[in-house]
Amino acid sequence: MSPARRPILLIAPSLVFMTALFAWPLIVAIGQAFTGPGGPTTAHLERMIDDPYFWPAARNTALLIVVLIPVQFALALTMALLLRERPKFAGFYFYVWVVPLAISDLAAGLVWLAVFTDRGYLNSIFHTDYAYLSHEHPTTMFLAVIVAELWRATSLVFVIIVAGLQGVPKDYDEAAEVFGAGYVKRLRHVILPQLRPSLQVALILRTILALETFAVAQALTGRNLPLLVGETYQWYGFLQNPNVASAIALVILAVSLLAAFGYLRLMREAHR
Amino acid sequence: MTQRVNRRTLLAAVASTPLLAACGGVSTSGSGGEGSVDFLSTQFLPVEERQRFEKILADHVKTKVGFNPIDASVFATTVQSQVDAGQTKVSLLGGLHGDLAPQKDRLMDLDDLAKQLSDRQFPADLIELGKLGGGSLKYVPWMQATYLLAVNKAALQWLPSGADPQNLTYDQLLAWVTAGRQGNGGKPIFGFPGGPKGLNHRFFQGFLLPSFTGGQITTFRSPEAATAWQYMKELWAQTAPASTNYDFMQEPLERGEVMIGFDHVARLVNAPKSKPDDWLMVPAPKGPKGLGYMIVIAALAIPKGAPQADKAKEVIKALTTPSIQVEVLRANAFFPVAKAELPGDLPKPISLEAAGVKAQQSASSAIVSLPPVGLGAKDGEVAQIFKNCFKEICLDGKPVQAVLDDQAGKLNAILDQLKVACWKPDPAGSPCKAM
């Protein structure tokens, strides 16, 4: 075999894999979203947009990302920097902080449901009778989802940042210290720039995963706090309309692509 | 606490859906072994109900039966593909009226069997329904269910004067729950199943709207329907807000979160379990047009080309005997369609319900309605139209008529595709649509 063909052979398995499990379903989904019994149609798209749950779902999903991701990154970064100082029992803290990573979304949702539900831990500890998850209290309902998601998904960002920090040589940091840079200055000008690749990966991953938030919200609020992926499931599973389900799924895909593209662009520009 | 269990069940269902769907496609033959009657059913799908029913089959039916409960949409495609391909493998079908009606041309005539079953004394209107609009009988009634109000007797103290719980009007119900809320320190006493898996759409389709408008679909956006939804808005203001999380009313009722609740009898039966003497089961209220109530009819049919048609007829005979009908009631809370003396040793919650069902059926101004017929896979979407009306009118506070006009457009878009005939209480006519 000629050396020129070798790379194609090497990537062939992954090409087959991507085509079968990604490209093909994607094409089918596009077909489902845009064809009806009488040929091409935008009827499913209109149906999706007219649905009283769609815009609230889109709004909630966006709000979730906007609130969740900055808080999550601040928390994860703090946790990683704390660990970097090598406190006593650092290994123990590390394991405790990554435990949520091992827990399934649904289980995490249920754990937090036990906390927030009308007769849950929170109400029994404070002897209150507040319906945190009632549709009448959208703010607490939303906050409950935020807290649960923070607990569940911050560890992913944390692990990525810890891994990234290990690739940052101590020398730079020490050199900056010798020249009299304080902690904040070193963080801003030495550590964070070197963490950029890790942060970029974590941002893209987390944004896409946050767009796909589903099980935690479903467990906590049912359809009271609709989210886009939950709506896809609703249309596919309960309403048995794969066409509208595909249309919503495509919206999620488009937003994910845009977000990933945007981050890459932003990070590159910041680099220049 | 049960709400937690509730969510857990939901999530177990979420987690197992792909698994079940995977099974559904393949396992459409029963498990009874060689020579047994393959019995495909949309009923008794939950595993506990299934086991109890299989025990009844094993103990009381001489013919060997392979009982195979499946999802309604899988049922429809299975029957359709087997009969149309001339390769019928199932011999007995059990489903709701709405599951069997679309299969009308794939079902054997059962007039001869009906003659042999004349001693069962099925109600005449059920037999009429079983003809599916044609001249000959296509199915034999199997069992029935409906929806009732469960009332904790503690709520009777707030009953408005002159109101009889067995004979309520919608206005009295509203006055009652309003007074109850005031008397209960501001905590609502009324709840209804508005959760993701709740059957509140059946309340709108079969109770509220027929009682106010006399119809279900044709009158969807009429001025009377607007009055009905306006009433619903007022009732909702006095209803426990947690109702948007209630899937099975028996749970909040048993916990004491609410004292009056509306639901399907099978979803109310556990409410009075621990203290049956504290409870009443009463008919739904009456509206301006009468007492609208929905009857859920399950029936048995034999597909054309069934390999074991004769044995299947034996099974139908057995399942319609009064004693087995009572066993099914005892086990799974579905009521007999054959004339059966209810024994005195029925579980107390079931005899409470039996009294309520009887009172509801014998009401002078009853308007019987059916769950939608012939919608197939679109049933969920049509149900969602009614749930959307509730969300937009009661939860979001949008103007009633505008919501109804908007949702009527969507309803008609679905119905235009299906071109189905109207079902009770709308006048029979094809195609069915909101005027």
For A131, name the nearest residue in chain B, comparing CA atoms only: B242
Q: Do B384 and A239 touch (CB under 8 A)?
A: yes
Condensed to tens digits (0 to 9), the pLDDT of residues A180-210 reads 888 888 888 888 888 988 998 899 999 999 9
CATH of the domain at A182: 1.10.3720.10
Indicate which of A112, A241, A243, A244 best probes the interface with B, i.e. most B CBs within 10 Å of its own CB: A241
Question: How far, in whole angstroms, is CA A154 from its chain's centroid?
Answer: 9
Least Cα separation, residue A162 to chain B (angstroms) = 33
Residue B17 has pLDDT above 70, yes or no: no
Out of A110, A136, A240, closest to residue B8 by CB: A110
Residue in A110, A114, A118 closest to B242 by CB: A118
Which residues in chain B have their CB less than 8 angstroms from residue A119's CB?
1, 3
Pair (A28, A134) in one structural domain: no
Look at B9 and A160; give whichever has higher pLDDT.
A160
Same domain for A29 and A96, yes or no, is no
Inter-chain touch B381–A239, beta carbons under 8 Å: yes
Sign of the CA dihedral with B404 first, then B406, B411, and B415 last: positive
| Bridge partners for B148 per DSSP | B263
pLDDT, one tens digit per residue, over B18-35 is: 444 434 333 444 455 667
pLDDT at A228: 94
Residues B190, B246 share a domain: yes
Residue A65, pLDDT above cutoff 50: yes
Mean pLDDT of B177-191: 93
**Rounded Cα gap, residues A50 and B421, in angstroms:** 27
Give yes or no: residues A60 and A181 share one domain: yes
- The closest CB to that of B244, out of A118, A219, A224, belongs to A224
Task: Tell whether B79 and B129 lie within a shared domain.
Answer: yes
Q: Same domain for B349 and B228?
A: no
The whole-chain average pLDDT of chain A stands at 89
Same domain, B280 and B164: yes
Are B95 and B293 spatial neighbours (Cβ–Cβ below 8 Å)? no
Question: Rounded to an integer, what is the distance from CA B175 to the centroid of its chain?
Answer: 27
Q: Does residue A89 sit in the same domain as residue A182?
A: yes
Contacts within 8 Å (CB) and 24+ apart, B53-60: B53/B328, B53/B331, B53/B332, B55/B331, B56/B324, B56/B327, B56/B328, B56/B331, B60/B318, B60/B323, B60/B324, B60/B327
Our CA-based measurement puts residue A117 at a distance from the nearest CA of chain B, in whole angstroms, of: 8
- pLDDT tier for residue B12 given thresholds of 50, 70 and 90: very low
Which helix (H) or strand (E) segment holds residue B389: the answer is helix B379-390
Q: Which A-chain residues 122-181 have CB contacts (< 8 A) with chain B?
A: 131, 133-136
Same domain, A90 and A5: no
> CA of A188 to nearest chain B CA: how many angstroms apart?
44
Residue B353 near residue B269, CB atoms below 8 Å: yes
pLDDT of residue B7: 47
Assess if residue B31 is contained within a domain: yes
A131, A13: one domain: no
Q: Which of A234, A236, A240 is the best mutation test for B, with the most CBs of B within 10 A?
A: A240
A209: exposed, middle or buried (C-beta count within 10 Å: 0-12, 13-18, 19+)?
Answer: middle
Number of domains in chain B: 2
CB atoms within 10 A of CB B102: 18
Q: Does any domain span residue B427?
A: no
In a domain? residue B428: no
- CB distance from B380 to chain A under 8 Å? yes
pLDDT tens track for B306-337? 999 999 999 999 999 999 999 999 988 899 98
Q: Enter the pTM of the model.
A: 0.79
Domain count, chain A: 2
- In a domain, residue B181? The reply is yes
Token reading at A25: 């379903």
The interface residues of chain A toward chain B in range 204-223, judged by CB-CB distance below 8 A, are 215, 218-219, 222-223
Please indicate whether, in this complex, the C-beta atoms of B388 and A110 are within 8 angstroms of each other: no
**Single-letter amino acid code for the residue at B312:** A
Instruction: Evaluate whether A223 touches A171 at the Cβ level (below 8 Å).
Output: no
Could you list the residue range(s) of the whole structural domain that residue A4 is in? Answer: 1-41
Closest residue by Cα to residue B31 from B11, B47, B54, B52 = B54
Report whether pLDDT(B259) > 50: yes
Q: Residue B37 sits in which domain range?
A: 16-145+296-368
Would residue A19 count as lying in a domain?
A: yes
Tell me which chain A residue has its CA closest to the CA of residue B187.
Answer: A129
Q: Which of B197, B200, B384 to mutate to test the interface with A (most CBs of A within 10 A)?
A: B384
Classify residue B279 by its DSSP letter: E
Q: Which of A117, A134, A239 sits opposite B380 (nearest CB)?
A: A239
Q: What is the DSSP letter of B196?
A: T
Q: Residues of B with CB below 8 A from A215's CB?
A: 11, 14
B399 CB within 8 Å of a chain A CB: no
Query: Does the distance separating the beta carbons of B245 and A222 come in below 8 Å?
Result: yes
CB < 8 Å to A50, chain B? 406, 410
Q: Which residues pair with B66 in a beta bridge?
A: B38
End-to-end CA distance of chain B: 45
Higher per-residue confidence, B408 vs B98? B408
- Mutate one of B11, B200, B394, B406 to test the A interface: name it (highest A CB count within 10 A): B11
**Chain B residue with minimal CA distance to A106?**
B11
Q: Tell me how close the Cα of B22 comes to any Cα of chain A, in angstroms.
A: 13
Q: Which two tokens stand for residue B249?
A: 């009313």
CB contact under 8 Å between A110 and B14, yes or no, is no
Percent of chain B with pLDDT over 90: 56
Q: pLDDT tens for residues B55-69?
A: 999 999 988 999 999
Mark whether B164 and B243 lie in a shared domain.
Answer: yes
Same domain flag for B308 and B202: no
B99 located within any domain: yes
B22 token code pair: 């995977």
B320 and B379 share a domain? no
Say which CATH number the domain at B233 has: 3.40.190.10
* Closest CB from A106, A114, A134 relative to B241: A134
- Residue A48: inside a domain: no
Tell me, what's the pLDDT at B370?
Answer: 86
Q: Nearest CB to B17: which of A109, A118, A237?
A: A237
Q: Is residue B238 scored above 60 in pLDDT?
A: yes
Are residues B174 and B254 both part of a single domain?
yes
| B426 found inside a domain | no
Percentage of chain A exceeding pLDDT 90? 51
Rounded alpha-carbon distances, angstroms, from residue B65 to B28, B37, B40, B53, B74:
14, 5, 10, 11, 20
Mean per-residue pLDDT, B121-141: 84
Interface check A38 vs B, CB under 8 A:
no
* A146 and A116 within one domain: yes
Taking the C-alpha atoms of residue B408 and residue B403, their distance in angstroms, rounded to an integer, is 8
For the segment A85-137, what is each residue's pLDDT rounded down to a tens digit?
A: 888 888 899 999 999 988 888 899 999 999 998 888 998 999 888 888 888 88
Same domain, B278 and B198: yes
Residues A25 and A129 in one domain: no
pLDDT digits (tens, 9 = 90+) for A256-266: 999 989 988 88
Predicted confidence at residue B33, as pLDDT, reads 61
- Burial label for A13, CB within 10 Å (0-12, 13-18, 19+), is exposed
Query: Is the Cβ of B73 closer than 8 Å to some Cβ of chain A?
Result: yes
Instruction: Say if residue B155 is in the same domain as residue B243.
Output: yes
Same domain, A183 and A258: yes
Contact B381 A240 (CB under 8 A): yes
Q: Is the pLDDT of residue A4 over 90?
A: no
For residue B293, the SS3 value is: strand
Query: Residue A47: inside a domain, yes or no?
Result: no
B273 interface with A at CB cutoff 8 Å: no
Does B203 share its domain with B100? Answer: no
Mean pLDDT, all residues of chain B: 87
Interface contact B392, partner A, CB < 8 A: yes
For B266, other C-beta atoms within 10 Å of its C-beta total 18
Q: Is residue A49 part of a domain?
A: no
Position with higher pLDDT, B396 vs A271: B396
The pLDDT of residue B34 = 65
Where do the H-state alpha helices sit in chain A?
6-18, 24-34, 43-50, 54-84, 90-98, 105-116, 121-125, 138-166, 170-178, 183-186, 192-211, 215-221, 228-233, 242-271
Q: Is residue B430 part of a domain?
A: no
Minimum-distance CB partner of B4 among A47, A106, A117: A117
pLDDT of A161 higher than 50: yes
Beta-carbon contacts of residue A250 (< 8 Å; ≥ 6 apart): A29, A30, A33
Give residue for tokens 């979304």: A105
Residue B275 token pair: 């203290």
Residue B73 is nearest to which of A223, A224, A240, comparing CB atoms? A240
Q: B417 — contact with chain A (CB < 8 Å)? A: yes
Look at residue B209 in the predicted model and tell me its pLDDT: 96
Residue A132 sits in the same domain as residue A200 = yes
Q: How far is CA A209 from CA A199, A203, A242, in A?
A: 15, 10, 22
Residue B75: inside a domain: yes
Residues B94 and B56 in one domain: yes
Give the ipTM.
0.73
Residue B242: closest C-alpha in chain A: A134
Is the pLDDT score of B428 beyond 50?
yes
Instruction: With H, G, I as helix, E, B as strand and everything else as coil, classify residue A121.
Output: helix
pLDDT category at A1 given cuts 50, 70, 90 is low
What is the chain A residue with the closest CA to B13? A237
Q: Are residues A7 and A73 in the same domain?
A: no
Of B15, B380, B381, which is closest to A106 when you measure between CB atoms? B15
Judged by CB atoms closer than 8 Å, whether chains meet at A218 and B11 is answered as: yes
**Who among B7, B388, B417 is closest to A113 (CB)?**
B7
Check if A23 contacts B (Cβ < 8 Å). no
A52: amino acid identity, one letter:
P
Residues A29 and A118 in one domain: no
Q: Which residue from A119, A131, A237 is facing B1, i.e. has the nearest CB?
A: A119
C-alpha triplet A65, B389, B410: angle, nearest 5°: 90
